[in-house]
Amino acid sequence: MRLPNSVGWLVALLGGTLCVLEGALILANPQYYLFDSFSGYLVLMVEGAALLSLSAALVWLRATHSGSLGRVGTAGFLAAFVGTVLAGSGHVFGLPFFEFVNTGSMAYVLIGVGQGVFLGWGTAYVVGVILMSAGYLLLGTGVMRAGTPPRWVGPLLIVGTAALWFGNAVGWILWGLAWILVAYAARPGKSARTAA
């Protein structure tokens, strides 16, 4: 699967914008995880859409570096892609799991675990976040080593991913801004020399 640059940068821009929106929604409703209002469910859907958009953006980013990432970057791409797809899918389809766990309704958690469905999607999300985080760190390192412009894409991916771990709303906003800058740097008509 290969996204043309004219589409890929827009997908990256969409993913970054959705991440910023995710952070803004969390700031507006810090207790979104209780799922006691529409905004709680909106946060869940926006996060899932952001992660799935970024999985497509990863394919585009990999294609733009056309094999120059080396082993570390390629391993990072694979881990980030699989992790982002798992996290995005798990987040969207695992709603009952998150709702029951976050509200502390242990009886519902046990029912969900007994059925296996909720636990499966919840597990996919957790495993996805771990793979995604490790993958982005490796991918960012691979981009820096590749020396292909823009060189600052690698540090942006690393810092943006680290921000997710240290600040929920602010982390999403910073990660989104990182992806918006990545999309801007590689937009059509931007030459490789001016992007460095």
CA–CA dist 57, 3 (Å, integer)? 8
pLDDT at residue number 116: 53
**How many domains does the chain contain in total?**
1
Within the chain, which residues score under 70 in pLDDT?
A: 1-5, 33-35, 65-67, 95-119, 147-149, 190-196
Interacting residues of 179 by C-beta distance below 8 A, sequence separation 6+: 12, 13, 15, 16, 19, 54, 57, 160
pLDDT at residue number 20: 95
pLDDT at residue number 186: 73
The token pair at 30 is 């810090």
Q: List the domain range (segments joined by +) for residue 169.
A: 5-195
CA–CA dist 81, 55 (Å, integer)? 5
Closest C-alpha among 139, 137, 133, 42 to residue 87: 133
